[in-house]
Amino acid sequence: MRFLDHPPRFLFFTGKGGVGKTSIACASAVELAAIGKQILLVSTDPASNVGQVFGVAIGNRITSIDAVPGLSALEIDPQAAAQVYRDRIVGPVRNLLPESVVKGIEEQLSGACTTEIAAFDEFTALLLDSALTAGYDHIVFDTAPTGHTIRLLQLPGAWSGFLEAGKGDASCLGPLAGLEKQRAQYSAAVDALADPERTRLVLVARAQQATLREVARTHEELAAIGLRQQYLVVNGVLADAAAANDSGAAADVLAAAIGRREQAALATIPDVLKTLPMDRIALKPFNLVGLDALRGLLTDTAPIDAPEEIASQPLEAPDLASLVEEIAADGHGLVMLMGKGGVGKTTLAAAIAVELADRGFPVHLTTSDPAAHLAETLTESLEGTGATLEIGRIDPRVETERYREHVLSTKGAQLDDAGRALLEEDLRSPCTEEIAVFQAFSRIIREAGKTFVIMDTAPTGHTLLLLDATGAYHRETTRQLGDTGLQLRTPMMQLQDPKQTKVVLVTLAETTPVLEAAGLQADLERAGIQPWAWVVNQSLAAARTRSPLLRRRAANERELIDAVAEQHARRYAVVALQEAEPIGADQLRRLTTATGAPSW
């Protein structure tokens, strides 16, 4: 693999969610350790599953992977890092100030911006020559899905610039206390990221047009901030032989359709990616969990044995149409699709929105994902069909600018020039985005009181940070109201109300996405939010195929689908992998067409 030829000290694996970044990062770390290198594998994903891949509890500490000599791993836990950060700030004043004041400080430090700052501190420390990293030849970063990664890699410049301009006294959620002391560390991190002798970015994609377009945008955004040493890896490519049946006499319809889509995507790869060194990794028949699977990922595999009976056993499971029927019965409400990146949340959100609009309901389809592009899934307007469907997006840049203009026109209107200049500096803090996005999220939640709002959320970790901000607002509002007797209805209370909000967890029938969805469900339940349903998307077990490789993958799915039905979900549905890519209203409607599958 060219992306592992003469590797520099820092290797970053990034890309759209669900393309296999974690698997490839882990396999690369194993391969480098096998040639005698000392490797530190680091996950910067708020919803890291590196520990699941190795079957080892890792967490927010450097942990040796005993089965792989020379390999250690670390999962940067944003919540644990934020707690350490809070303790560092609150500890010295805890016994000096009144308890009410201390609680107010703690509440100010409970926002997502504090979490971001704390995780950023840990991330930049790993880019420096220090006692912490001195013993490692290579540090391999498994990053969060694209939007979150770009935000993280831009932070060294954002915080350095903010401090350089002397704007370290912002009064936003998650105060910037302590950042000034880190100026030298942040500057060194910027230098390390921009140095091609020290840093290489590996862009991971699938052979899909939308994913390759996303990678092209990522390439340009990262190059613009100085990270130009980039390689491209196209993962999970279906080999030509996989389209044949057992006798090799005829092409399998589903496998052939997948193959055509992939070849068309690779033939029309964006021009900006054509100059990058590129590797292809073949689709494997096994789940990428465990050391044996990792060692087989970057190599060719032997012919696949798949018993014929696998193809002839129909999967009996509820379909998406049955869930939409229940959603429609309420007449309005917020439907939030959540889960790991790359599981198809955008597609399913668009399919549900189109079906509800076709039934005559007013629908607002929106997304909180910084890297989402709903227009690439729903490519045409429903005007002229009688359907009312509005498509929107919580764009952090747009919302931040809107928030700044509002504050300047209200709070800033009565200030003198000096006061207004100070306010403008405050609003240039990177933390301002947190408040702006939260306010946009709150507006959308309120809108669901009279219409259907279908929200495609950001990948798991980013969504949890947004919900953290929602919870922080709820706690602060409750504290301020106290016993005043005023009626309270915060956004968090609406999310907790099953009559107002239906949370649908989306997963694939693969080990890691199911485990991550189960973890997300536990996190939501601790916040008082009970997921309404699960959807197992892109299922081969629900499709029909004669391809030995696809049949073996279908067989692997059944145990996981049973686990969803019996252990995790109150209600669930399974959506088959489609022959045609679900883009455009007609193809989306196929996902919500009743198949006659039995209900639970």
- Provide the residue ranges of all domains of the chain, joining segments of one domain with +: 2-298, 320-395+443-591
Greater confidence (585 vs 60) lies with 585
Cβ atoms of residues 10 and 198 within 8 Å: yes
Q: Report whether 439 contacts 396 (CB < 8 A).
A: no
Closest CA to 143 of 66, 226, 41, 275: 41
The amino acid that residue 460 corresponds to is: T
Q: How many CA atoms lie within 13 A of 537 on its CB side?
A: 27
Catalytic residue IDs:
18, 20-23, 45, 512
- Is residue 61 over pLDDT 90? no
Model pLDDT, residue 247: 47
Share of the chain above pLDDT 70, in %: 77
pLDDT band at 472 (very low <50, low <70, confident <90, very high): low
Q: How confident is the model at residue 350 (pLDDT cuts 50, 70, 90)?
A: very high
Asked which of 69-73, 136-140, 225-229, 369-373 is least confident by mean pLDDT, the reply is 369-373
CATH of domain 2-298: 3.40.50.300
Rounded to the nearest integer, the mean pLDDT of the chain is 80
* Maximum CA extent, the chain: 82
Please say if the pLDDT value at position 217 is more than 90. no
> 242 falls in which pLDDT band (50, 70, 90)?
low
Q: Which residues of 362-381 are buried (b: 16+ CB within 10 A; e: fewer)?
A: ebbbbbbbbbbebeebbeee
Measured on CA atoms in the order 80, 85, 88, 91, is the torsion positive or negative?
A: negative
Quote the pTM value: 0.76
Task: Report pLDDT for 190.
Answer: 73
| pLDDT tier at 151, thresholds 50, 70, 90 | low
Compare 116 and 497 and report the one with higher pLDDT: 497
Q: What percent of the chain has pLDDT over 90?
A: 30
Q: Taking each helix axis as running N to C, give the angle between helix 432-447 and helix 112-125, from 0 to 180 degrees, rounded to the nearest 10.
A: 140
Pick the CATH number of 320-395+443-591 from 3.40.50.300, 3.30.499.10, 3.30.2270.10, 2.20.28.10: 3.40.50.300
Closest CA to 75 of 137, 22, 11, 134: 22
Please give the structure tokens belonging to residue 176: 């910037």
> Which range is least confidently modeled, 17-26, 146-155, 254-263, 544-553?
146-155
| pLDDT top residue among 491 and 169 | 491
572 DSSP β-pair partners: 534
Q: What is the pLDDT of residue 169?
A: 41
Q: Which residue has the tokens 């998307």?
A: 537
Between these two residues, 377 and 107, which has the higher pLDDT value?
377
- 338 within 8 A of 506, measured Cβ to Cβ: yes
User: At 158, is the secondary structure helix, strand, or coil?
Assistant: helix
DSSP string, 450-482: TSEEEEEPPPHHHHHHHHHHHHHHHHHHHHHHT
Q: Does residue 572 surpass a pLDDT of 80?
A: yes
Domain 2-298 matches domain 320-395+443-591 at the CATH topology level: yes
Helix ranges (DSSP H) in 165-302 = 183-194, 209-224, 253-267, 271-274, 291-297
Distance, in Å, from the CA atom of 464 to the CA atom of 470, rounded to the nearest integer, reads 10
Q: What is the pLDDT of residues 275-327, one digit of tens each?
A: 999 999 999 888 777 888 888 898 876 555 555 555 456 788 999 999 999 99
Answer whether 341's CB lies under 8 Å from 48's CB. Answer: no
- Name the least confident of 116-120, 397-401, 441-445: 116-120
**Is the pLDDT at 432 greater than 60, yes or no?**
yes
Over residues 58-68, the mean pLDDT reads 88
Cα gap 554→551, rounded to integer Å: 5
The pair of structure tokens assigned to 568 is 């995790």
What per-residue confidence (pLDDT) applies to 597? Answer: 41
Strands 138-142 and 10-14: parallel
CA angle 194–196–197, rounded 5-degree value: 120
